Each structure stands twice: as structure tokens, then as C-alpha cells.
Amino acid sequence: MSVIEASSTAREGRLRRVGSVIAQLMRRPRSAFGMIVITIMVVFAVFAPWLMPHDPFKQTFDGLTLSGAPRPPDGEFLMGTDLLGRDLASRLILGTRTSLIIGVLANGIAVILGAGIGITAGYFGGWVAAILMRFTDLMMAFPALLLAIVLAAIFQPSLLIVALVIAMVNWVQMARVIYTETRSLAERDFIQVQRSIGSGTFRVLASHLLPHLLSSIVVFGTLGISTTVLLEATLSYLGVGVQPPMPSWGNIIYENQTYFSTAPWLVFIPGTAIVLLALAFNLVGDALRDILDPTLKGRH
């Protein structure tokens, strides 16, 4: 078999495994619900410019009632308007893109950073593990929300800065989990054999260690997106996250909270969107853990 044929066979095998995992997710009612919600949110985020019924930044002339209050949902404004007369549905759709971009980007950075530190500390051990894990413990000692608020207040908030701030407070859990698993794997016979025959560090990590950690990284990464979405909404609500007029589900709630008693949909609709997205990623992450972790198979 040629190198090209072997590569093609391996790629087809990976695609079949991915397809099998997706099929198993869709056979479970809870994870299927989560997949559907995530798909809908992704569609809103990707096609936001074409799905928004109005300009999300435009204060329309008839966007407020005669008394200056937000308009309730009607045929023209499907979810009503906000305190400035802007279409709430359009701002929610654009806010979906904001939440997903920050959630995925921040969690991706946190996963790469946490997994890198955990693997390095777990594989090399000794003083390397001592330094990296004590630094991880130090970061875990700070309340995540308080640390995120401080960091966001220091830097000028933007999509990238908010994502980086969230990543800086979310990588520690990943590092701890991967460190523990790497320490256990590093002592296994197949790793010791590779070391004894002179395999390079990169080869051992990439070809023998990382494949065994991949399922944990995928599961933890999926579950982590819900945390980053909630943290982004919290920071935006507190005024140190995404800055107006750019819509975020968190700052939409903050801007309209004064109308909670007279126009509760301005708070309930974005709040429901936050809960649904976080719940969807949690449901999919839990199902992935059951599917990918052999020790959990057959328990449900």
C-alpha cells in the first residue's frame, strides 16, 4: 500500500468515526435537542446579515410608543423593540454571532493553553510539573469572575480582548484534568517502550500520547463553551465585556433591565437564548463523554 493510499484510508477511517459519533448523538433525545439548538444558533450567526429583518443599529422612527416606551412584539417587529426603538430580533440575531465567536474562540484558546500545560507537566514531571502546576494552582486561587472583571477593566474591551480575558481564566480546569491523565499515561508500558527505543519526544506525544487524550480534550472543550458563553454574557451585563452599540445577549439585558416590569420580553428573550445555548453545549458534552469514554459505556 502506498503512502497516499494509507493516508486516504486513515482519513476515511477518521471520517467514519466522526460520522458514527454524530449518529450516536442524534439517537439520544437530549443530545439531539442540543445538536438542533446549536445548529440553529450557528445558522443565525453565519447568515445574520440576511436573516435580520431590520438594521440592528438603527433607531426607527416608529420604534417607540407615543409615550416613549419600547413597542411590544407585533407584525412589524417580531420581538418588539428596545429602549432606543431598535428591532430586538435583529439585535438578538447579531448577538448570536457575538456570543458564538467569543465562546468558541475563548474556549479554543483555553483548551490549547490548558492542554499544552497539562501535557507538558504530565509528560516531563519533576521540576517542570512543579512549576507549571503551582502556577495553575495560583490561577485557580483567584475567583474566575473577579479576575475576568479586573482583566477586562484594564484592557480596552473588544471581541478579541474579551475572548482572551475569558480564556485566561478558563484554562486552569483543562490543565488539571489533562495533567492527571497524562501522568497516568506516561507510566504505561507502551509509552515507556517508545522512550526506551529512542523515539523522540514529539513523536511520543503526537503519535502515542495525544490520541489517548483526544476524547477528553474534545469533551472538555465542548462543555467549556457553555461556561465561556455564560461568562461573556456576565461580563457584558456588567459593562466590561462587549461594548454597545455592538449587541451581545448580556448587554441587551443590561440596557433594557429598567423596562423589566413593563416590557419583560426585553429581558426574558435574550436570557432564554443564553440558557438554551449553554444547556445545548452541556447536553452534547455529556453525551460525548458517555460515547467517547469506554469506562462509561453501558451505564445508561
pLDDT tens for 279-298 read: 999 999 999 988 886 554 54
pLDDT range class, residue 204, cuts 50, 70, 90: confident
What are the sequence ranges of the domains in the chain? 13-56+76-296
Q: Where are the alpha helices (DSSP H) in the chain?
A: 3-27, 29-46, 48-51, 88-124, 126-141, 144-154, 159-186, 189-196, 201-203, 210-237, 249-256, 265-292
Per-residue cell: 143: 475567583
Q: Is the pTM of this model over 0.85?
A: yes
Between CA 155 and CA 157 the distance in angstroms is 6
Position 294 scores a pLDDT of: 53
Cα 201–chain centre separation:
31
Q: Which of 5-9, 50-54, 156-160, 291-295 has the lowest average pLDDT?
A: 5-9
Q: Which of 57-66, 73-82, 202-211, 225-234 has the lowest average pLDDT?
A: 202-211
Between CA 169 and CA 128 the distance in angstroms is 21
Q: Which CATH class is domain 13-56+76-296?
A: mainly alpha
Position 300 scores a pLDDT of: 42
pLDDT tens for 110-152 read: 999 999 999 999 998 889 999 999 999 988 888 888 888 888 8
pLDDT tens for 258-284 read: 888 889 999 999 999 999 999 999 999
Read off the DSSP letter of residue 246. Answer: S
Task: For residue 249, give the 3-state DSSP assignment.
Answer: helix
Amino acid at 106: A
Between CA 113 and CA 126 the distance in angstroms is 20
Residue 44 has pLDDT above 90, yes or no: yes
pLDDT range class, residue 11, cuts 50, 70, 90: low
Which single residue is written with the C-alpha cell 448587554? 251
Position 7 scores a pLDDT of: 45
